[in-house]
Amino acid sequence: MKPDRLCESWIWSLILVLWFSAALVLPLGLRAEETYTFDFSETEKKPYHFSGYLEARPVHFRADTDSALYKLRFYNRDEGNTLQEFNSKLQLEGSYEKDIIRLYFKTNTDYKHSYLGGDEQSTFYEAYGSIQPSYSFKIDAGKRNFKWGKGYAWNPAGFIDRPKDPEEPEIGVEGYIALSADYIRSFSGPLKTISFMPVLLPVSKHINESFGKRDYLNPAGKIYFLFFDTDIDLIFLAGGSKTTRWGADFSRNITTNWEIHGEFGWIKDYQRTFIDRFGKSDTDEYNAFSYLIGMRYLTARDTTFIFEYYHNDTGFMEDELRDYFDFINDGYQVYLDTGNVEALQTAAVLTEKNYGGNNPMRDYLYLRIIQKEPFDILYFNPAVTTILNLHDRSFTLAPEIVYTRITNLELRLKTSIIVGSDDTEYGEKPNDYRLELRAGYYF
Amino acid sequence: MWNAIVLFVVLIFAVPADALDGTDLLKQIDRNLNPESFEMYRKLINIEPDGRKKEFTLFSVKKGLDKIAALFLEPASEKGRSTLRLGDNMWLYIPAVGKPIRITSLQSVIGGVFNNSDILQLDYAAEYDVVNVDDSGSEYLLFLKAKTRTVAYDQLKIRADKNQKLPTEIECLTEAGMLIKTLYFKQVKDFGGGIVRPSYVETDSPLYKGYKSVMIFGKIKKRDFRDEVFTLTFMPNIDSLR
């Protein structure tokens, strides 16, 4: 066994021991506490607050050595059939309030130790100041998230947010620097609330560079209505960094245990770049209309179903993705025959810029089933999630168990099984399955 | 014949008279429990059969019959989460998720025996009609029926102290009469401002054998709010009300 592997095995063992120790030993200490009291000092408000989140997440992969993306990533390495990776995360959050002014920040530091060695990345996810002269009006300036759209796994109308990972949609992402305001009015009658959020989002060499073309000030906005017990948002993005976009979403409860939601985003003159199997690049331009429809349903047995159908009009067609995989496979064969890596390097760039995003094709189904506290085991919530590519029928299936019995400690064990034939989105992923353990502590 | 007609007329008018008394009584119980608009600090404790517990501290604000919001202050894993209820509509805001999502009254954002409608309780008279009132010496027994099918419990049986007009026990039942949970109201306390009410509510459920949950009321104070406080847009800012 290589020294690195030995080290990773030790890390795995240590994490497992800590996980089970936390689950079994710590609660014994808590059993001594019996009295039910309310210490009012807990409710005292201070002008500042500071909190954080620390996470350890070891991951074990079973590689699919015949897949296109495995060949692309490991063509010149021999890492064997299994891979281990250790991830950790530290998030710090703080705020200071005085009168109508509030300052807030949230940092994120990710550390990954994988076959490539150690890698650490730190950034501010959010850092902004707010002025709230009244309950109905607020101005924010700085880096923040907007999270527009009602979709759970995808947001075709999330025009000024970074895309989220549909396999982990509740994990925070980095925001953009912007100036925004919130104005709220409430009424009696069927129209209960209107709120308007105008946004100005600048893009220059040092500000929001990844958003789009530089040297533009992009106006965006969202108008929200609560009308006949239905949440409705109308959304737009204008300006030069990206083409004009319009969107809308809705959400409402049909019954006490059944919610439905929908969302669409229309993008004017969307430009899409793709390659043929020989690597020749082509671009087409069209108005893209992406949409999503979904529901959340709770049964009498406390089982929650979250279901969504997503049409991604900016995505690739089945034959286009097949050409991309063929280009990688051909490039790999050229590398084996001649040692020439040019095609594989081109494919790596294309993967990063075009094809490597989450769910790059057109039509998907998402289903998540969560069983709350089965067998009367409090704070124990098993779930299973699947994302199905409707074009090539490949999918991922991810069962998990979450345990939150210990205050501020969340333990999750999750497996992701990937199923798909050759030339399909999931079938060409670099691994067959992965097993991960996540221990997160809030402080 | 005339006797039958007289009896029929008496019965017609007798039923609404009883119902009216019951409705008034229920409204008095509501007002004795809370002012119509208020701010409140509560602690919720889930207790397991072996005595282990998990605690949550909440700051809540309510206005009128159908607007209530709550903000989690403790523990750190829940801090900053807020819930909002406008009539039958409920939302949960999780800071990491960054936007409010609709939730249902039967779910529980904290786990345990209390569900969302227990945590975001509106006036009983806003959600229930009084079907019958029994006068049994030192207490009243009120039988309530949900006004709509969107209410979390179809039926309630409220035992109320006759002198104080405060509940001592509430049974929550399904439409078929199956017991979902029982709430026990204890330790009447003077919170100031004329608010005298039980400060300790305990609940158990045949669906969670051996488990119980406790709600301890710390501070309750009359306070009026603007309607804009009870909106999705304001959910991330509820802490600014403290």
Please report residues of A whose CB lies closer than 8 A to that of B221. none
Higher-pLDDT residue of A21, B110 = B110
ipTM exceeding 0.90, yes/no: no
Residue A25 pLDDT exceeds 90: no
Distances (CA, A) of A168 to A126, A153, A416, A442: 19, 8, 12, 18
Q: How much is the pLDDT for A18? A: 54
Q: How would you class B91 by CB atoms within 10 Å of its CB: exposed for 0-12, middle for 13-18, buried for 19 or more?
A: buried
Residue A29 pLDDT exceeds 50: no
The pLDDT tens digits of the residues spanning A344-394 come to 999 898 888 888 888 899 999 999 999 988 887 878 999 999 999 999 999
Q: How much is the pLDDT for A80? A: 85
Please report residues of A whose CB lies closer than 8 A to that of B73. 42-43
The pLDDT tens digits of the residues spanning A157-170 come to 999 999 999 999 98
3-class secondary structure, A74: helix
- Rounded distance, CA B24 to CA A262, Å? 43
pLDDT band at A155 (very low <50, low <70, confident <90, very high): very high
List, as one string, the DSSP characters of A392-405: T--EEEEEEEEE--
Q: How much is the pLDDT for B23? A: 92
Question: Are A98 and A129 contacting, i.e. CB atoms less than 8 angstroms apart?
Answer: no
Q: How much is the pLDDT for A238? A: 95
Six-digit token pair at A4? Answer: 């690195």
Spatial CB neighbours of B48, under 8 Å, sequence gap ≥ 6 = A378, B210, B211
Residue A4 pLDDT exceeds 80: no
* Mean pLDDT for the stretch of residues B173-190: 92
To the nearest whole angstrom, how far is the Cα of A333 from the nearest Cα of chain B?
A: 44
The pLDDT tens digits of the residues spanning A408-431 come to 999 999 999 999 999 999 999 999
To the nearest whole angstrom, how far is the Cα of B78 from the nearest Cα of chain A?
A: 8
Please report residues of B whose CB lies closer than 8 A to that of A151. none
CB-closest option in A40, A182, A253 to B88? A253
* Mean pLDDT for the stretch of residues B169-188: 92
Please report residues of B whose CB lies closer than 8 A to that of A378. 46, 48, 111-112, 208, 211
Q: How much is the pLDDT for B17? A: 41
Q: Based on the structure, what is the number of domains in chain B?
A: 1
Note whether B77 contacts A407, CB cutoff 8 Å: yes
Q: Does B98 touch chain A (CB under 8 A)?
A: yes
- Rounded distance, CA A37 to CA B27, Å? 30
Residue A35 pLDDT exceeds 70: no
The pLDDT tens digits of the residues spanning B30-78 come to 999 999 999 999 999 988 888 888 899 999 999 998 899 999 999 999 9
Q: Does B172 touch chain A (CB under 8 A)?
A: no
Six-digit token pair at A33? Answer: 């506490």
Q: How much is the pLDDT for A8? A: 53
- Rounded distance, CA B184 to CA A35, Å? 18
The mean predicted confidence, pLDDT, of chain A is 90
Q: Domain span at residue B189?
A: 2-241
Test the B interface: residue of A108, A135, A306, A405 with most B CBs within 10 Å: A135
Q: Does B148 touch chain A (CB under 8 A)?
A: no
* Mean pLDDT for the stretch of residues A13-33: 49
Q: How much is the pLDDT for A206? A: 92
CB-closest option in B48, B75, B107 to A408? B75
To the nearest whole angstrom, how far is the Cα of A262 from the nearest Cα of chain B?
A: 13
Please report residues of B whose CB lies closer than 8 A to that of A298. 104, 106-107
Q: Which residue of A has its CA nearest to B60?
A: A43
Cis peptide before B75 (omega within 30 of 0): yes
Please report residues of A whose CB lies closer than 8 A to that of B106. 256-257, 298
* Mean pLDDT for the stretch of residues A23-47: 63
Note whether B226 contacts A138, CB cutoff 8 Å: no
Query: What CATH number did the domain enclosing B56 receive?
Result: 2.50.20.10
Q: How much is the pLDDT for B11? A: 45
Spatial CB neighbours of A159, under 8 Å, sequence gap ≥ 6 = A148, A220, A235, A236, A237, A242, A245, A247, A265
The pLDDT tens digits of the residues spanning B91-102 come to 999 988 888 988
Q: How much is the pLDDT for A38? A: 83
Q: How much is the pLDDT for A15? A: 54
When computed from its CA atoms, the radius of gyration of chain B, rounded to whole angstroms, is 19
Six-digit token pair at A269? Answer: 């003159």
Q: What is the 8-class DSSP label of residue A353? A: I
User: Among residues B111, B42, B106, B58, which one has the least CA distance to residue A404?
Assistant: B111
CA A397, chain centre distance (Å): 17
